[in-house]
Amino acid sequence: MAIEAKDQKLATDETVPMTKDRELQARARVVIPGGMYGHMNTRTLPANYPQFMRSGKGARVVDVDGREFVDLMCSWGPVILGHRHQGVEQAAAQQAALGDVLNGPSERFVELAEKFVSLVSHADWAMFLKNGTDATTLCCTIARAHTGRRKILVAKGAYHGAAPWCTPVEAGTTIEDRSNLVRYIYNDLASVREALASVEGDVAGVLVSPFRHDAGFDQEFVDVDFARGLRALCDQSGAALILDDVRCGLRLHHGGSWEPIGVEPDLSAWSKAIANGYALAAVLGNNQYRDAASSLFTTGSFWYSSVAMAASLATLEALERENSVAHMVSQGSTLREGIDAQAQRWGLEVRQTGPVQMPYLSFEGDHEWRMASRFSAGALRHGLYLHPRHNWFVSGAMTDADLDMALAATNLAFQELRASLNDEREHQGQ
Amino acid sequence: MAIEAKDQKLATDETVPMTKDRELQARARVVIPGGMYGHMNTRTLPANYPQFMRSGKGARVVDVDGREFVDLMCSWGPVILGHRHQGVEQAAAQQAALGDVLNGPSERFVELAEKFVSLVSHADWAMFLKNGTDATTLCCTIARAHTGRRKILVAKGAYHGAAPWCTPVEAGTTIEDRSNLVRYIYNDLASVREALASVEGDVAGVLVSPFRHDAGFDQEFVDVDFARGLRALCDQSGAALILDDVRCGLRLHHGGSWEPIGVEPDLSAWSKAIANGYALAAVLGNNQYRDAASSLFTTGSFWYSSVAMAASLATLEALERENSVAHMVSQGSTLREGIDAQAQRWGLEVRQTGPVQMPYLSFEGDHEWRMASRFSAGALRHGLYLHPRHNWFVSGAMTDADLDMALAATNLAFQELRASLNDEREHQGQ
């Protein structure tokens, strides 16, 4: 299998035609609306991006045509220890040999709740669900049940899921779905005060991401004074401070993402990486919100399935044992420094923003992500899977060899972008 | 392992103390709001019901204290071929050895969409999600996107999920969450006409279950004229007819649940049994709604995971190969006839309603399900897991031996209920 042969040159789209992918895309167009939906739709990505994947192992993925890539998307976050992590897969298989979805949860349910409560400083209790959107939605519901109020403050442009109340595309939603949202600007405490004042006495909660990671924009770390100010405003107004840790959770810190800055939310939403790819989400809360959480009714057919919980327990243990956050920071830092040096070498002005474990690269003056797209297409051609308009994800499985290959790919991508820009310039000069 | 020894007497709560369950419940109360949440919360069930389960195989489940039960709840529906069905588990393991959640779906995604389109007569396309609630919600969103209208008609008392717009408990929800719902009465076409007229020109869709299966009530088959009338009213008003096949799908018919009566919905919502317990949901639709389905944005981190799709493909194949619907009908009929005879023998007036594969038992004049609860407690004591206020589920794994044990348990439960009623009568007569 190609993925096992670590030293071989990675396949490129020049050497491997995308026959299988094209064939599957044609079949998909018949039986799936638009051929694909959601965040993994490659329609707006460069043409050499595969829509369909075959396999993954560690920090490598293989598409349906057998092209192998170093993986800098990690399935958009869930894969934090690398694909098919042995400890996680073993724990999942052991649980699957007993049972998964039964007439009630298994012992894993209690163990996992205890584990999260011990791991995350603000948490006194836990609830488990399936989607990140389930978790952000439930946080809002608990905040409303506790306060008896309706309004939720959300940052302009922030992504908190894809249910009608929060999806960034309005098609099929109603005004009523969003009528209880009030917008503020990330890192702008005055805008929060203004939003609070506009619906005084009716604010149930303030929803906030650990840092600003809106797709298509440079990332922005949270201002510590902003986070502290939010906490104080929530305390004053009796609203819940809700941290949406779905995307960042466990990549920034082995615990809640705001623990390093010492600001504790009342409720937090988790998903993506908590079970290394197994379908699981969680809501954590403090004792003040416990009664409200038990007063409402929300559930799902697979919310108490044990295999994902066993996988999550193994993930949390492996992250600690393998010191994965530190490893991701180390590899992410080398990646960032390498990319900076390469960009400088090829005379390309780039910005790299946000945490090094969740890199975002943008090009100066890059209207409509044209340069980012060409860079991504080049990186992919040379064996590196990243995204032109969304933050990337480093996993704990990224070895030095993976990193070398990634940087070799980015270097070639920069080189080709430089050459094509020069060609264009010459062409324009004629 | 206890579950393998088919001829042994099933353990009862007299012989096995619920030590482990009590201990887990105590631990759960510390780290989970109310100790448990959602539909699998056993708080309102008889005291001998275990909250925590250990394992399952075929039509048997074992609780954390090692008590084995014939399973008539099937994890509230998902387990349709029996727990740990060999073909499904093998298909899932094969896929897991390649990868699950990757940077895009695998070939399984297209194969599964093709399979559903070939299997379900009204379907021209498919979308996959995680929760039943995801599916009912997406159906409404697609109907709204297609029609540009807001209102959805739902039957009074019907369950369509547990998001804020549809949860049966209002805590934490807002008036706006439900402001676009209009109620009609199941099997009452005049009430549908009235509901349509009340919001004329703004009806996006009519949501309906294949039969009336509201928890705590006798079940009611759909009146064929009602179903045809709904179809005609939707055609006249340009609204989508949406079949909520989440609970029934694949137990009534190897295809859509209304195919035997010849009424085709525009959209249908599926989940529970489609992957024999693996977390998966689906929305199927016809070509009229294809563009609307591709115009909106909804997604989830685990919606494109391949293991659940491989499990679903294997489930659909096994259901066909094993002729499971016919088997469930056969075993369900024997169960129903047996229970009727037993009830008569013990002088207890019962009603059994709905399809035999999804039995619901109620006692005449049984206020607040007191007799049903005592009957359920007795059945559980004698090794049969069923529910006093919710329909049961027969699986394709139920053998004649399982059925014999189930009927032995119901007979003893009726006998004990009879004796205790006689005792009470004597006591009252004194």
pTM over 0.90: yes
Sheet holding A281-285, edge to edge: A125-129, A281-285, A267-270, A240-244, A203-208, A151-155, A181-184
Looking at the fold, whether A101 and A154 belong to one and the same domain comes out as yes
Distance CA A76, CA A228 (A): 29
The tokens for A395 are 């996993």
Q: State chain A's mean pLDDT as an integer.
A: 95
A114:B295 CB<8 A: no
Residue A12 has pLDDT above 60, yes or no: no
Q: Write out pLDDT tens, residues A290-307.
A: 999 999 999 999 999 999
Find chain A residues with C-beta within 8 A of B28's C-beta. Answer: 109-110, 113
Three-class secondary structure assignment of chain A: CHHHCCCCCCCCCCCCCCHHHHHHHHHHHHHCHHHCCCCCCCCCCCCCCCCCEEEEEECEEEECCCCEEEECCHHHCCCCCCECCHHHHHHHHHHHHHCCCCCCCCHHHHHHHHHHHHHCCCCCEEEEECCHHHHHHHHHHHHHHHHCCCEEEEECCCCCCCCCCCCCCCCCCCHHHHCCEEEECCCCHHHHHHHHHHCCCCEEEEEECCCECCCCCCCECCCHHHHHHHHHHHHHHCCEEEEECCCCCCCCCCCCCCHHHCCCCCEEEECHHHHCCCCCEEEEECHHHHHHHHHCCCCCCCCCCHHHHHHHHHHHHHHHHCCHHHHHHHHHHHHHHHHHHHHHHCCCCEEEECCCCCCEEEECCCHHHHHHHHHHHHHHHCCEECCCCCCCCCCCCCCHHHHHHHHHHHHHHHHHHHHHHHHHHHHHHC
Within-domain flag for B97: yes
Residue A2 has pLDDT above 50, yes or no: no
Looking at the fold, whether A313 and A341 belong to one and the same domain comes out as no
Within-domain flag for A195: yes
Residue A6 has pLDDT above 60, yes or no: no
Residue A425 confidence (pLDDT) = 87
d(CA B421, nearest CA chain A) in Å? 29
Residue B214, φ and ψ in degrees, nearest 5:
-65, 130
| Of A291, A321, A351, the domain-final residue | A321
d(CA B151, nearest CA chain A) in Å? 9
Find chain A residues with C-beta within 8 A of B4's C-beta. Answer: none
Within-domain flag for A2: no
Q: Which residues, in sequence order, are CB contacts of A347 under 8 Å at separation 6+?
A: A418
CATH number at residue A393: 3.90.1150.10
Q: Write out pLDDT tens, residues A67-90.
A: 999 999 999 999 999 999 999 999
* Number of other CB atoms surrounding residue B323 within 10 Å: 12
Residue B430 confidence (pLDDT) = 55
The tokens for A36 are 């694909």
Residue A158: domain span: 86-321
Answer yes or no: are the C-beta atoms of B171 and A297 closer than 8 Å: yes
Instruction: For chain B, give the longest Cα–Cα distance.
Output: 74
The tokens for A55 are 């396999």
Residue A13 confidence (pLDDT) = 47
Q: Write out pLDDT tens, residues A381-410.
A: 999 999 999 999 999 999 999 999 999 999
Looking at the fold, whether A58 and A194 belong to one and the same domain comes out as no
Residue A430 confidence (pLDDT) = 55
Residue B144 has pLDDT above 90, yes or no: yes
Residue A92 confidence (pLDDT) = 98
Find chain B residues with C-beta within 8 A of A293's C-beta. Answer: 33-34, 37
Residue A427 banded pLDDT, cuts 50, 70, 90: confident
The tokens for A154 are 């959300």
Share of chain A above pLDDT 70, in %: 96
- By the 10 Å C-beta count (0-12 exposed, 13-18 middle, 19+ buried), B14 is classed as exposed
Looking at the fold, whether A413 and A396 belong to one and the same domain comes out as yes
A107:B51 CB<8 A: no
DSSP structure string for B283-327? EEE-GGGHHHHHHS----TTTT-HHHHHHHHHHHHHHHHTTHHHH
Distance CA B353, CA B363 (A): 11
Looking at the fold, whether A152 and A215 belong to one and the same domain comes out as yes
Residue B367 confidence (pLDDT) = 87
Looking at the fold, whether B341 and B380 belong to one and the same domain comes out as yes
d(CA A422, nearest CA chain B) in Å? 33
What 3-state class would DSSP assign to B407?
helix
B75:A291 CB<8 A: no
Distance CA B59, CA B398 (A): 5
- Stretch (H or E) spanning B384: strand B384-385
Within-domain flag for A6: no
Residue B201 has pLDDT above 50, yes or no: yes
Looking at the fold, whether A198 and A99 belong to one and the same domain comes out as yes
Residue A11 has pLDDT above 80, yes or no: no
- Stretch (H or E) spanning B373: helix B370-381
Within-domain flag for B129: yes
Answer yes or no: are the C-beta atoms of B354 and B217 closer than 8 Å: no
d(CA B290, nearest CA chain A) in Å? 5
Q: Is the Cα dihedral A265, A266, A267, A270 positive or negative? A: positive
CATH number at residue B147: 3.40.640.10
Q: Write out pLDDT tens, residues A138-195.
A: 999 999 999 999 999 999 999 999 999 999 999 999 999 999 999 999 999 999 999 9
Q: Write out pLDDT tens, residues B178-191.
A: 999 999 999 999 99
Find chain A residues with C-beta within 8 A of B296's C-beta. Answer: 167, 169, 171-173
C-alpha distances in Å from residue B421, one per residue of A205, B345, B381: 52, 15, 18
Distance CA B184, CA A385 (A): 51
Looking at the fold, whether B314 and B333 belong to one and the same domain comes out as no
Q: Which of A33-37, A337-341, B5-9, B219-223 has the lowest mean pLDDT?
A: B5-9
Looking at the fold, whether A102 and A227 belong to one and the same domain comes out as yes
Find chain B residues with C-beta within 8 A of A83's C-beta. Answer: 99, 102
C-alpha distances in Å from residue A409, one per residue of A120, A287, A400: 37, 49, 14
Share of chain B above pLDDT 70, in %: 96
Distance CA B232, CA B323 (A): 33
Of B34, B285, B301, the CB nearest to A132: B301
What is the value of ipTM here, to two decimals? 0.95
B110:A292 CB<8 A: no
DSSP structure string for B105-119? --HHHHHHHHHHHHH
Looking at the fold, whether A158 and A278 belong to one and the same domain comes out as yes
Looking at the fold, whether B149 and B195 belong to one and the same domain comes out as yes
Give the mean pLDDT of A348-352. 98
Give the mean pLDDT of B263-270. 98
Within-domain flag for A5: no
* Number of other CB atoms surrounding residue B6 within 10 Å: 11
Residue B17 confidence (pLDDT) = 83
Residue A14 confidence (pLDDT) = 56
Residue A4 confidence (pLDDT) = 35
Within-domain flag for A1: no
| Of B290, B321, B352, the domain-final residue | B321
Residue B12 has pLDDT above 70, yes or no: no
Query: Of the candidates B100, B218, B17, which has an alpha carbon nearest to the alpha carbon of residue A307?
Result: B100
Residue A354, φ and ψ in degrees, nearest 5:
80, 180
Half-sphere exposure of A160 (CA within 13 A, CB side): 30
Looking at the fold, whether B316 and B328 belong to one and the same domain comes out as no
- Stretch (H or E) spanning B267: strand B267-270
Of B55, B277, B293, the CB nearest to A33: B293
Find chain B residues with C-beta within 8 A of A272's C-beta. Answer: 301
C-alpha distances in Å from residue A270, one per residue of A78, A89, A145, A285, A357: 11, 21, 20, 11, 17
How many structural domains compose chain B? 2
Answer yes or no: are the C-beta atoms of B123 and B112 closer than 8 Å: no
Half-sphere exposure of B19 (CA within 13 A, CB side): 4
- By the 10 Å C-beta count (0-12 exposed, 13-18 middle, 19+ buried), B32 is classed as buried
Residue A15 has pLDDT above 80, yes or no: no
Q: State chain B's mean pLDDT as an integer.
A: 95
Residue A154 confidence (pLDDT) = 98
- Stretch (H or E) spanning B203: strand B203-208
Residue B126 has pLDDT above 90, yes or no: yes
| Of B321, B355, B377, the domain-final residue | B321
Give the mean pLDDT of B382-393. 98
Within-domain flag for A281: yes
B167:A292 CB<8 A: no
Distance CA B342, CA B347 (A): 8
